[in-house]
C-alpha cells in the first residue's frame, strides 16, 4: 500500500472543489520526543488516510505540527484516534475561524529535522521552559499595560493583512529571521513585559523559551494563538483587539476576523487583503491581488507571467526547468521588484 499520494495535484484540486461533504479545518502541534519519526509518520498516514483526512503534517524527533481537513461526519472518530496516541491525548485542537471546507486537497506527511524551521540549536537551551501562557482576557489586560510590548512572531506577509493593535510587526520572510530581529530589538528592554503571539501558538513555544534563555524576564505568549483568541472573544463577548485577516498556510490563505481591510493590492494600490499565488506555475509568487487586477493580469503577478501563460504547455515546461520550487513571497518594502509603490 502506497503511503503517499500518487494522483496529480490538479486532479485532486478539482476533486476537492467539487466535493460536497462538509469538512472541518483543524490545526494542532505538540513538542514531544519521537524516537523513530519515520515509523510514526507511516503509522499516522495509515490511520488518517482511512478517515479521509487531508492536510499537511510535519513530523520530527522533536514532535508534530499539523494542519488538516477532516470530514465533519468523521470528526469524533478522528479525535478518538488522535487521543489514542499517548503523547497526543487531549492535545488542543484549533478549529478554523472561517472555513469553507476547501483548505486541503491531499494528505501530505513529511519527516523533517524540525517541525518549525527556527535555526536554533536546541542542545544549547531548555526548550521546555517557555513563557507564561495567557488566554484572551489576560492578553487584553497585558496589552493595556504601558509596560507591555506586543510582538507579532509571524512573517510580514501574514501581519500585513491582520494583526493586533499596537503590535510590533517585524519585516521578515521567515521565523528564523524574526527570532534574531526580536532579540536585537528588545535587548535594551529586558524588564518589559514581552507579549508574543502567532497563528496557533507553535512559533511562540520555541520563541518564548529562547527569549527566556537570552535573559528576558517577563515573557508571555498567547495560548492557542490568534485562532484560539478569536474563539474566546466570540464565546465570552470580550473586546477583540485583532484587526483584519488571519493568514493561514492552506488553500484558503486567510480567515476573516474583522471587516477591516488594512492592506492594499500589490498591483494597483486599492484596499485589498486577498492573498493569491501567481497562476504561472513557474512563478507562484504569493502576493495580494484585487479582483480587478486578477482579471487584468489573468491572475498573474506581472505582464511577463501573463505572457508565459499564453505559450504552449511544452514551452512553459521548458521555462520552468531549473526554477526554484520553494515558496516565493512578495517582499514588503524591501524588494527591487515592488509591484506597487504607494505615493
Active site residues: 198
Query: Left, alpha or beta for 253 (phi > 0: left; psi -120 to 50: alpha)?
Result: left
Longest CA pairwise span in the chain (Å): 61
Contact by Cβ (8 Å): 231, 95: yes
285 Cβ contact partners less than 8 Å away, ≥ 6 residues apart: 277, 278, 301, 305, 328, 329, 330
Helix extents (H) in 58-195:
75-83, 136-144, 156-159, 175-186
- What span, in angstroms and rounded, lies between the C-alpha atoms of 151 and 159? 11
Provide the Cα torsion 316, 317, 323, 328; round to 10°. 60
Residue 13 sits at φ, ψ, to 5 deg, of -65, -40
- What span, in angstroms and rounded, lies between the C-alpha atoms of 303 and 300? 7
Helix axes 75-83, 37-49, angle to 10 degrees: 160
Q: How do strand 94-95 and strand 23-31 relate by DSSP bridges?
A: antiparallel
Burial 217-240 (b: 16+ CB within 10 A, else e): ebbbbbbbbbbbbbebbeeeeeeb
90 Cβ contact partners less than 8 Å away, ≥ 6 residues apart: 83
- What span, in angstroms and rounded, lies between the C-alpha atoms of 139 and 44? 35
One DSSP character per residue, 302-317 reads SHHHHHHTTS-HHHHH
Cell of 332: 514588503
Amino acid at each position: 500500500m502506497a503511503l503517499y499520494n500518487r494522483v496529480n495535484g490538479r486532479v485532486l484540486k478539482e476533486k476537492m472543489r467539487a466535493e460536497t461533504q462538509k469538512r472541518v479545518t483543524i490545526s494542532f502541534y505538540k513538542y514531544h520526543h519521537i524516537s523513530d519519526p519515520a515509523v510514526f509518520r507511516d503509522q499516522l498516514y495509515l490511520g488518517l488516510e482511512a478517515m479521509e483526512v487531508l492536510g499537511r503534517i510535519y513530523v520530527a524527533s522533536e514532535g508534530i505540527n499539523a494542519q488538516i481537513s477532516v470530514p465533519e461526519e468523521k470528526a469524533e472518530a478522528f479525535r478518538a484516534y488522535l487521543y489514542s496516541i499517548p503523547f497526543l491525548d487531549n492535545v488542543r485542537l484549533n478549529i478554523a475561524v472561517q472555513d469553507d471546507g476547501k483548505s486541503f486537497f491531499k494528505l501530505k506527511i513529511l519527516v523533517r529535522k524540525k517541525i518549525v524551521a527556527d535555526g536554533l540549536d536546541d542542545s544549547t537551551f531548555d526548550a521546555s521552559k517557555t513563557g507564561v501562557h495567557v488566554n484572551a482576557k489576560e492578553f487584553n489586560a497585558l496589552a493595556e499595560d504601558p509596560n507591555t510590548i506586543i510582538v507579532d512572531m509571524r512573517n510580514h506577509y501574514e501581519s500585513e493583512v491582520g494583526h493586533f493593535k499596537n503590535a510590533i510587526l517585524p519585516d521578515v520572510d521567515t521565523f528564523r529571521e524574526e527570532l534574531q530581529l526580536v532579540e536585537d530589538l528588545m535587548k535594551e528592554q529586558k524588564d518589559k513585559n514581552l507579549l508574543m503571539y502567532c497563528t496557533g501558538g507553535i512559533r511562540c513555544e520555541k520563541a518564548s523559551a529562547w527569549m527566556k534563555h537570552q535573559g528576558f524576564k517577563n515573557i508571555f505568549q498567547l495560548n492557542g494563538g490568534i485562532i484560539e483568541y478569536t474563539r474566546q472573544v466570540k464565546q465570552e463577548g470580550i473586546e477583540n483587539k485583532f484587526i483584519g485577516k488571519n493568514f493561514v498556510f492552506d488553500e484558503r490563505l486567510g480567515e476573516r476576523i474583522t471587516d477591516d481591510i488594512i492592506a492594499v493590492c500589490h498591483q494597483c494600490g486599492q484596499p485589498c487583503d486577498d492573498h493569491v499565488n501567481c497562476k504561472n506555475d513557474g512563478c507562484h509568487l504569493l502576493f495580494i491581488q484585487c479582483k480587478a487586477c486578477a482579471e487584468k493580469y489573468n491572475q498573474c503577478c506581472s505582464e511577463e507571467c501573463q505572457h508565459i501563460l499564453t505559450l504552449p504547455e511544452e514551452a512553459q515546461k521548458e521555462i520552468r526547468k531549473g526554477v526554484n520550487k520553494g515558496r516565493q513571497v512578495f517582499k514588503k518594502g524591501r524588494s527591487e521588484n515592488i509591484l506597487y509603490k504607494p505615493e
